[in-house]
Structure 1
Amino acid sequence: MAWLSKLRWPIALLVIGLGVLTPLFITVYAEPADVSDPVVFSEYRADFAVAADGTLDATETITAEFPLWRHGLFRYWDIANPNDPDIRQPPDITEITLDGAPVPFELSWEDNRRFRVAKIGDPARYLDEGTHVFTIRYRIAGVLDPGGTGAEKSFPGSEGRPSDARSVFYWNVIPPGWNNPITEARISVTLPGPLTGAQCALGAGVGAPCGDMRIDGRTVEVTARAVPPRTPLSVRIGVDVATPPRPTVPWSQKWDAVLGSAPVWLIAAGVTAVAGLVAAMVLMRTTAESPPGFGVHYTPPEGLGPVQNEYIRTEAVPKHGLTATVFHLAEHGLLTLDQTEPKKWVIRSAGTARDWRAVDPVGAAVATALGVRKPGREFRADGTVSAGATLERATAKMGQAVRQWALDAGLVVRKRDEWWVRVANGVALVLAIAALFRLFGGTVWIVPFGLFFVATMNAWKPGVGLRRTAAGRELWSQAGGFHRLVATDSAESRFDFAARSDLYTAYIPFAVAAGSAALWAKKYQAATGTPAPSPGWYHVAGAHGALSGSSAGFDSFESALSSSIGAYTSSQSSSGGGGGGGGGGGGGGGGSW
C-alpha cells in the first residue's frame, strides 16, 4: 500500500475539490406545480418607498379569500438580480401580521440559498373559511440600478423618458411566482428624487399594458385587474439621482453555494486554510521522533524475536507477525510445521517444558493461544471457522504481548498529550462534513478543514501516543540496522552467506516479519549462486529442499492462515438475517399552504 501513501495528497485534493464543487453538480428539480391555488387574492396592495441610499422599504397587504383546510401563505424572494449577476438582494423581513395581529412564520432557504422563503401561519391550526388580510413588511438594500439598465427592453405602457435618468428602479412589483389569481392590484412606488418617466408591463416579455399608471411628483401609482397566477407586474422608473453604491461579489449567484455570499468569507477560508496547515505541521512535529543512526547490523538485537524487533523499529505490530512468530519458534526447535494438504498445516509442539519456560513473551502468548505450549499438543490450520477464531485470538494476544513487553522493559513510555492531535484530526473531519452540508455558508470551507484532516492523518499511525526511551532508541538503532540487512539490497548490507549459511534460515522469521522474505531469499541466491534452502522445520508436501530463490515456499503456510481467518470472519459477517443464530451478545413568489 506504499503507492496509496504516495498518492494520498493528489487523491485528497481531488476529493476536496469535488466536495467544494458539489453544489454546481446538484440540480434542484421539482415537478411543475399546479398553479390553481384555491386561495384568491381579492386585493393586492404594495407600497414601495426607496431611500436615497437605495434601500427599499416595502409593505405588501394581501386580502385573500380562503377555503377550508389551509394554514396560511408562503412568500419567497429571489435574491439574484437578473440585470447584474454580481448583486445580491436578500430581504430583511421586519414584520408579518394576519388580520392585524402577529402571526408565526418560519424563514428558510431554497435552491442553494437563491430563494428566501417565509412560511406564514400556524401548522397546528387551519384558518377559518373566508377573508383574511396578510401584511408583509420587509427591507431590501441596493435596489436602484444605473440609468441604462433595461433601456433595451420594450414596455407596452410608458410615460416620459425614464432612460434619461441617472438611476432606475426596475422591479417586479408583483413577483412572477405568486400561484394565486389577483382580482385587483394597487401598487405605489415612491422614489428619492425627480422622476423622468416610467414604464410598465403586465406579464413576461413585452407583456400587456397595465390597467392604469400615474406619476404624481416622486410617486408612481399602478393598478391592474384580473391578474392571472404567475404573472409579473414590472415597472421601470427613471429617478434623477446618482446611483448609490451597493455591495457586489465577483461571481454569479450560483457560485454562492461554493464561495459564500461575500468575498470576506472566501478570504477567511483561505486564511484559515493556511493557518490550519501551519498548525498541522507544528502538531505533527510534536508526534515525530528523530531517528537514530542505522548502521548495518548483521545480527538482530540480542534476545528479541521477529515481532519484538519490528515493533521496536516501527512501533507497529507487523502484518505477518503471527507467521513470523511461529517460524521463529520452529527455528528454535519448539515447533514443527507439516503440510498435510494444500492450505492445510499442522503445528506441533516439539519443545520440553523447560524450553517453553525460556521463550520470549510474544512467542509464549502465541503458543498459548494456539494451544501448543505443552509437549505433544498440536494445532491444525485447516480453513475451518474454529481454526480461524483461534488464529484471530492468537494475533490479538501477540499484539497485546509485544506492546506490554515494550512498556514493561522500559523501552517506550506513554505520551498521551500526542493523542490530542488525533482529537483535532477527528474534529477537522466532522467540520469538513459540516461544510459539505453548508453549515458555514459556502462549501469552500471544506478546504481548510479537509487540508488539516489530511495533513494530520498520520496521527493515527501506530506509535503516536508512545515515545521510545533512551534504551528504546538504542535498541531501535540496532533493529533498524538489522532491517537493512534483511530488507535492502545495498552493497553495504551484503552478507557472507558462504561463511554463515545457517543464518539464512535463522533470519527467515525476521524477514517475514519485515515483509522482505522474497528479497532475503534473492540475496542468498545472488551471493551463493544456489537457490535458498528450505528450513528443516518447514515440511512442505512435495517440496525437495529449496525455496527457488523467492518467498513462494512460505506462501502455502501464510495462505493456510489466511484461509482459516477468512472462514471465521465470513461466518461473523453472515450471521445476520431473520433467524437468531449469531445474533446474540458479543457482537420569489408564493402561495397558500
Structure 2
Amino acid sequence: MYDNGDEYQPDSGEEIRSVARGRASDAARMRVAVAVAVLLGVSACTGLLFPLVWGPTSNARGLAAIVGDSFGLAAVVVGLSVVAWGAGRLWSRSAREKLPEPPVRYGPVSGLGPAQTEFVVRKWIGDGAPTATLLHLAEQSVVRLTLVDDGLWQIEGIGTPQRWRRIDPISRVFAEHLGIRSPGGVFVADGSPTSGYAVREGMRAMSDACRSWAARDDLLVPSVRTWIGRATACLCTVLAALGFLGVLGPTILGAPFVAFVIGALGVFAAGTGLRHTPTGRHVWAGAAGFERVLSGRSTTIGSAAVRECFLAAVPYAFTFGVADRWSAQYRRVTGRAAPHPDWYPSTTLYDDETGLQWAAKPHN
C-alpha cells in the first residue's frame, strides 16, 4: 500500500513475483529493441558504405568493381604499385641530407646556444631545448634557479643588460617569453599544465627564431626536391581517394597512388625540408663534432676534462638528450665522479623524474 507518498512495498510473495516477472519482461523487450536498433544501424551503415567501396559511379559490383573486366589490368596495376612504391622510397632517401662524419670538437661553437646548436645539427629542436636553455642561462649567471619544494622550481632573472648582450639571441627569446629577461622577473616551473603550456609556447618561439636565424645567416635553405615530393605525395593521396571511390574506374586504380604515398612518407620527416649551405655545413661540422663527444661516440673528452669546461657543456648535453652519457663519459675518462655545478641547487641534475627537466617539461 502507498502511505503518505512513501515508496510502494509489495505486501505478499505473489506480488513480489509479479513485479519480478514484469521487470524481466521489460528487460527482454529492451534487449529486443536494442538488437533491432543495432541491426537497423548496421543496415544503414552498410547501405551507405558499400556503394563507396564498390564504386558509386559504376553499375559494376563485387570483384568486377575492384579489378574491372580483365585480370590483365589487375596485373598491370600491381606492377605499377611496386614501381610507385620504389619511386617513393627513392624520393624519401633523397630527402635525407647526406653528411660526413664530423670531426671531434671538445666545446660548443662560439656564439651558439644549446637550441641553436641542436637546430644546426638536427634542423629542429626537441623537448630538451627549454631545460637546456634554462641551464645555459643559469651557467651564464643571468638567471637564478631555486628549488622551492619537491618538483617546484623558481627561475628568477638576475642578469644585467651587459650580461644579456653576451647571450645568444635564441636563448634571449625564450627568456623574454617566460618573463625572466629583466632583473626580478620570475617564472615558476612545477610540471603543471599551466607552466608546461608556457614552456611549450616559449619553445615554439625558439623554433621560429631558429628558423629565422638560420635563414638570415645563410645556414639552411629549403629543399626544393623535398617540397616537390611532399606536393606529389599529397596529390597522390587525393588521386588514391578518388580511385578507391570508383571515380577513376575499378577501385584497384587507387593502389599505385597509395603505394607511392607509403614509400614517400620519409619526405614528411622533421628536418627533411631544409638543406645546409656551404656556410651551414661548416657550422654543422663544429656543432655535430661537439655532439659526437657529448654522446660518447668519441673515446676522449679533451679539454672537457677540466671542471669548468665540463659544466659549460652540460646544457648542450641536455638539449641532445645525452646528459647521463656525458656524465658517464667524464667518469670513465677521468676516473672521478662528474662535478656538480654551483648554479644548480639540487643533486637531481640528471634525474628525469624530479629535476628541472621534469618541472620545465613542455605541455601541449
TM over 0.5: same fold? yes
How far apart in 1 are the matches of 2:304 and 2:225?
Answer: 50
Q: Which string of whole-angstrom CA distances, capped at 9 and with x for unpartnered residues, describes residues 172-204 of structure 1?
A: xxxxxxxxxxxxxxxxxxxxxxxxxxxxxxxxx
Q: 1:117 to 1:377 in 2, by over 3 A?
A: closer
For structure 1, the 5+ residue unaligned runs are 1-28, 32-107, 119-252, 570-593
Q: Which string of whole-angstrom CA distances, capped at 9 and with x for unpartnered residues, describes residues 413-454 of structure 1?
A: 234563221111222233334444444555544542222112
Report the counterpart of residue 536 of structure 1 in structure 2. 342
Letter in 1 for 2:356: F
Q: Is the 8 A contact 2:305 2:330 kept in 1?
A: no
* 434-443 vs 304-313, greater mean Cα deviation: 434-443
Q: Which string of whole-angstrom CA distances, capped at 9 and with x for unpartnered residues, describes residues 23-55 of structure 1?
A: xxxxxx969xxxxxxxxxxxxxxxxxxxxxxxx
Matches within 5 A, 1:100-499: 112=54, 255-256=63-64, 258-284=66-92, 286-383=94-191, 386-416=194-224, 418-440=226-248, 444-488=252-296, 490=297, 492-496=298-302, 499=305
SS of 2:221's equivalent? Answer: strand
How far apart in 1 are the matches of 2:117 and 2:77?
Answer: 46
Q: Is the 8 A contact 1:298 1:485 kept in 2?
A: yes
How far apart in 1 are the matches of 2:86 and 2:342?
Answer: 55
Q: Is the 8 A contact 1:296 1:493 kept in 2?
A: no
Report the counterpart of residue 515 of structure 1 in structure 2. 321
Out of 549, 558, 564, the position equivalent to 2:357 is: 558
Out of 309, 323, 326, the position equivalent to 1:503 is: 309
Q: Which string of whole-angstrom CA distances, capped at 9 and with x for unpartnered residues, describes residues 541-568 of structure 1?
A: xx3xx75xxx326852122123xx54xx
Cα shift at 1:256: 4.2
Q: Is the 8 A contact 2:244 2:254 kept in 1?
A: yes
Cα shift at 1:396: 1.3
How far apart in 2 are the matches of 1:499 and 1:285?
Answer: 39
**Considering only CA atoms, is the larger Rg found in Structure 1 or Structure 2?**
1
How far apart in 1 are the matches of 2:53 and 2:280?
Answer: 59
Number of positions where the alignment pairs a residue of Structure 1 with one of Structure 2: 317
Cα shift at 1:503: 2.3
Letter in 2 for 1:510: Y
Cα shift at 1:497: 7.3
Q: Is the 8 A contact 2:307 2:339 kept in 1?
A: no
| TM-score, scaled relative to structure 2 | 0.76
Q: 1:539 to 1:438 in 2, by over 3 A?
A: farther
Report the counterpart of residue 128 of structure 1 in structure 2. none
SS of 1:558's equivalent? Answer: helix
Q: 1:555 to 1:291 in 2, by over 3 A?
A: farther
Q: Larger % of strand: which? A: 1
Q: 1:275 to 1:532 in 2, by over 3 A?
A: same
How far apart in 2 are the matches of 1:348 and 1:460?
Answer: 39
Cα shift at 1:535: 1.9
Q: 1:359 to 1:259 in 2, by over 3 A?
A: same
How far apart in 2 are the matches of 1:278 and 1:386?
Answer: 46
How far apart in 2 are the matches of 1:531 and 1:110?
Answer: 66
How far apart in 2 are the matches of 1:365 and 1:256?
Answer: 61
Q: Is the 8 A contact 2:155 2:188 kept in 1?
A: yes
Q: 1:269 to 1:327 in 2, by over 3 A?
A: same
Q: Is the 8 A contact 2:116 2:170 kept in 1?
A: yes
| TM-score, scaled relative to structure 1 | 0.48
SS of 2:183's equivalent? Answer: coil
Q: Which string of whole-angstrom CA distances, capped at 9 and with x for unpartnered residues, describes residues 341-391 of structure 1?
A: 222110111221111122111011001001111122221113555434422
Q: Is the 8 A contact 1:348 1:379 kept in 2?
A: yes
Q: Is the 8 A contact 2:120 2:280 kept in 1?
A: yes
How far apart in 2 are the matches of 1:369 and 1:401?
Answer: 12
Cα shift at 1:393: 2.2
Runs of 4+ in 1 over 6 A off after TM superposition: 108-111
Q: Is the 8 A contact 1:297 1:485 kept in 2?
A: yes
Provide the identity percentage.
29
How far apart in 2 are the matches of 1:554 and 1:529?
Answer: 27
Letter in 1 for 2:292: R
Letter in 2 for 1:364: R
Report the counterpart of residue 524 of structure 1 in structure 2. 330
Q: 1:385 to 1:279 in 2, by over 3 A?
A: closer
Cα shift at 1:319: 2.7
SS of 1:338's equivalent? Answer: strand
CA RMSD of superposed structures (Å)? 3.2
How far apart in 1 are the matches of 2:103 and 2:270?
Answer: 24
Q: 1:254 to 1:481 in 2, by over 3 A?
A: same
Q: Which string of whole-angstrom CA distances, capped at 9 and with x for unpartnered residues, describes residues 452-509 of structure 1?
A: 1122112222333432111101111222211111113x4x432257841332221111
Q: 1:277 to 1:499 in 2, by over 3 A?
A: closer
Letter in 2 for 1:559: W
Letter in 2 for 1:516: V
Q: Is the 8 A contact 2:295 2:326 kept in 1?
A: yes
Q: Larger % of helix: which? A: 2
Q: Which string of whole-angstrom CA distances, capped at 9 and with x for unpartnered residues, describes residues 225-273 of structure 1?
A: xxxxxxxxxxxxxxxxxxxxxxxxxxxx964455444213212312322
Q: 1:110 to 1:437 in 2, by over 3 A?
A: closer
For structure 2, the 5+ residue unaligned runs are 1-41, 45-49
* 506-515 vs 459-468, greater mean Cα deviation: 459-468
